Structure 1
Amino acid sequence: MFALAPLATAVRNAGHQVFMAATEETVPTIAQVNLPAISLTDRSLHSLISEDRNGNPVALPSGLEESQRHCGEWFGRLAAASLDALFELTNEWRPDVVVGGKLSYAAALIARTLNVPYVRHAWDFDDYVGIDPHASRELRPELDGLGLDDLPTPDLFIDISPSDLAVRHATEIQPMRWIPGNKQGKVLPWMYIPTSGRRVCITSGNRVSVMQSHDFICEVAESLAEEDIEVVIAAPEDAAPELRRRLPGLNIGWLPLDVVAPTCDAVVHHGGGVTSLTALNAGVPQVVFPGSSIQEESSERLARTGAALTLTRSEATPELIAKSCWSVLEDPEYKRRSVQLARDIAEFPTPDLIVRTLERL
C-alpha cells in the first residue's frame, strides 16, 4: 500500500477522484496516508496466508519454488475474496483506470470485466514472474466465470526499481521515481537531527508481531550496542511495549522511516522492498537478513550493487548481523554506492508526470 500511495496522491492532486481498496485491516493505514479507503474483505492476511479456501491449514513453504507457489496461491485467495466487493463498488462508481499492486490480481480481473485500462504497479524490486502462474491456477474458478483463459496482461507496468535492480518482463514499462509513502505521526527532533556518533536502524517490519521475533531483534540490538552504536528500532506499536521493556532507553516504535533513514549510517532489515527502497532513496547502506526465499533473490541482487551486505537465513545470527553491520560502516564503498543509487532514483519521472500517462490511457 505504501508504494502505491505517492501515485494515488498525485492523481488525486491532479483533480481526479481516487479510491484505494484493500482488506479491512488495512483501511486505517490507508486513511493515515490521507486517501479514501474502501474495504474489500474482512479476511485477515494471516488467514489468507495460513489457510486455503476451505479453511484447511497451509504449510509454510521452504525454498524459492515453494515460496513462489505459496505466494501466488494466497494472493490469488485475496483476489477471490475481494471480487464481490469490487463488483458492488464498480456497479455504483465506474473507474476510468484501475491501478493494482503487482500481486493485486483482482485489479486485473475487474479492469478487464469493465473494459478499462489496467495498470500494474510495482511495490518493490522482487521478481514476480514466477508467482503469476500459481495465482492463475488458484483463480481458475474466477477466470472461468469471467470467460478468461489466463490473468489479463497489463496495459502499462509502472516500475519503481533503480536500473541496477530492475528485472523487467513487461513490454510496456513506465519507470517512476520511488518516493516513500509512510503513514505519519508527530515528528520529534531526534528523528531528523543526525547523531554525533553512528546510528543504525533495525526493523523486521510486521514480522516482529506476526512471528513474535522479539528475542531475535533484542539480541541484534544488544550486539550492536556493544559496538558503541546508537540503535533505533522501527516496529509496529503492538510489538513496541515488549521491546521497550527489554531495551530501555532506545527509541522504539512506529517510525516515519522516510524522516529517520537520512540520519542513519546503516539500516538492518528483513529484506522488505519498501524498507530497502526507502534506505536506497536516502543513500544509506544496508545489512539484510531476508525473511523468505523470494526476498533472498532480490536481496542478493541488492548486494551485487555494492550498496548492501546480505546474509542467508542460516547465516543471520545476531552476532553475525552485528559484525556485518560494522563491516558496512567501516567500508566507505557501501556508502558511495548507496549515494549513487539514490541519485539514479532521483532521475526517474516523479508521480505527477506519470499522471499524464494515466490520463492518456
Structure 2
Amino acid sequence: MKILFTVGGSQAAVFGVAPLASAARNAGHEILLAADEPLMEAAASVGLPAVCITPERMRYGQESMTATVRLDALLELAGSWTPDLVVGGLSHVPRLLAARLEVPYVRHIWHIAPMARRDRTAVAELQPELERLGLAELPDPDLFIDLCPPPVRPEGAPAARSMRWVPRVSQRRLEPWMYTKPEGRRRVLITAGTRNLMLDTPGSSLRKLVDELTGTGAEVLIAALPEAAEKYGAELGDVRIGWLPLDVVAPTCDLAVHHGGATTAMTLVNSGVPQVIIPDNGYGKAVAESVAGFGAALMVDKHRLAGRDADEVIVEACRTILADPGYAERTRLLAAEAATLPTPGEVLRELEALVAA
C-alpha cells in the first residue's frame, strides 16, 4: 500500500514519525513524507523519502493562517501520488486530505499536553476548508497512535493505541568517547534540542552550570547545533560541544539537563537517564510535569522561583539527582514499562488492516 506521512513544526516531528514510516517501508510499502522545507534535511538524515509542501515551517496554534496553502499542496501531491492511508500529527490539515480522498486517517503524536481545547479551535478554524471541499464535518481519526508511555500520560487523555518509543535522530561519524562511559567520572548532558541554539540564554547562566558540574568532577557534554558550537563553544570552558547523536550518547550519561522536548525526554528515558528539565514553553512544561511526577526528573520553572536565583536552583536540582539514586531507579522503571509497548512493526499491522477493511 501507499502511505503518506505528514509532519510540521520542528525536527522532533520527523524523528517521532520515522520509526513507523521506516517499519512500513521495510515491510514493502511505498511511503512519502510531506514536510516543510526546514525539515527536509532532518528527513534525509533518517532515510525518509520526503517532499516539500511549504517553504516555511508550520507553527502549531497558527494553523488557520497556512491551512489553505498546506491543503492545496497536499491535494496536488495526492493528484500524482495517491495514498491509500494518511498519517498526520498535531495538524488537522492532513485529516482534511484523508476525508477528501476517502481513505483512512491515522493520528500519530506524543500526547503529553492537554490538547482538547486547541483541537476544537483548530477544527473550527478549518470550517472554510471543509466547505470548500464539500465536507459536512471532519471525521474522527480511524486510529490514534500515542508514543507517550501510559504511566506519564495526562489525566483525561483520549483512548489511544500505545506504541513503543524508538529513538531516531540524525547521526554523525562516531568517536569512541560518544559511546563509552568516562572512567571514574560521571557524565552530564546539556541540550536545548534543535529549536534553540543553547539552553536558556547563552553566557553567564549556562557557564555557571558548566563550572559547577565540572567542579564536582563530572564531564559535561553539550548537544547543540553546529552553529551554536561555533558561536559559544569558546565561552563555556572545558566541555565537549556540538551535534551529538543523542541515542548513542544517552546511555553513557548519569544526568541530562534540557528544555523539555519530547524527543529529548523520551530518548533519555529510553536510556534510563534522570533529568533536570527547564521548560521553555507550555509544551515543555507539560513534559516536565509528567516525567517529574513519575519521579524520573526535577522541573525548574523559571517563572515560579519566588525570588530565588534560577542558576542556583538549577545547580541544586542537578546535585540532588546526582546524589539520589532513586531518580535513576524511577527512570529505569519507566523505561522498562515503555519497552513492553507494541513496536512500530506490530502497530503497522493495524494500519494494514485499516486499508484492507
Q: Identity of counterpart residues, as a percentage?
A: 43
Out of 153, 158, 165, the position equivalent to 2:145 is 158
Q: Match of 1:38?
A: 51
* 1:16, distance to aligned residue in structure 2 (A): 0.3
* 1:257, distance to aligned residue in structure 2 (A): 0.4
Q: Would the aligned equivalents of 1:125 and 1:160 in 2 still touch at CA under 8 Å?
A: no
Q: Would the aligned equivalents of 2:106 and 2:145 in 1 still touch at CA under 8 Å?
A: yes
The unaligned stretches of length 5 or more in structure 1 are: 50-70
Out of 111, 115, 131, the position equivalent to 2:102 is 115
Q: TM-score, normalised by structure 1?
A: 0.87
Q: Match of 1:259?
A: 248
* 1:211, distance to aligned residue in structure 2 (A): 9.1
1:203 aligns with 2:191: yes
Work out the CA distance in 1 between the residues paired with 2:243 and 2:251.
Answer: 16
Out of 101, 111, 133, the position equivalent to 2:120 is 133
1:342 aligns with 2:335: yes
Q: TM-score, normalised by structure 2?
A: 0.88
Q: Would the aligned equivalents of 2:274 and 2:297 in 1 still touch at CA under 8 Å?
A: yes
Q: Match of 1:14?
A: 27
Q: Match of 1:231?
A: 220
* 1:265, distance to aligned residue in structure 2 (A): 0.4
* 1:90, distance to aligned residue in structure 2 (A): 0.2
1:279 aligns with 2:268: yes
Higher mean displacement: 241-250 or 89-98: 241-250
Instruction: Report the AA paired with residue 349 of structure 1.
Output: P
* 1:207, distance to aligned residue in structure 2 (A): 4.0
* 1:323, distance to aligned residue in structure 2 (A): 1.3
Q: Deviations over 1:54-74 (max 9, x none)?
A: xxxxxxxxxxxxxxxxx42x2
Q: Match of 1:353?
A: 346
Instruction: Report the AA paired with residue 313 of structure 1.
Output: K
Instruction: Label 1:234 to 1:78 Cα distance change in 2 as closer, same or farther (>3 A).
Output: farther
Instruction: Report the AA paired with residue 255 of structure 1.
Output: L
Pairs within 5 Å for 1:59-98 = 71-72=60-61, 74-98=62-86
Q: Match of 1:4?
A: 17
1:29 aligns with 2:18: no
Q: CA RMSD in A?
A: 2.0
Q: Per the alignment, in what secondary structure is the counterpart of residue 16 of structure 2?
A: coil
Q: Match of 2:88?
A: 100
* 1:76, distance to aligned residue in structure 2 (A): 4.1
Instruction: Report the AA paired with residue 287 of structure 1.
Output: V
Instruction: Report the AA paired with residue 23 of structure 1.
Output: D
Q: Per the alignment, in what secondary structure is the counterpart of residue 117 of structure 2?
A: coil
Work out the CA distance in 1 between the residues paired with 2:66 and 2:324.
Answer: 43
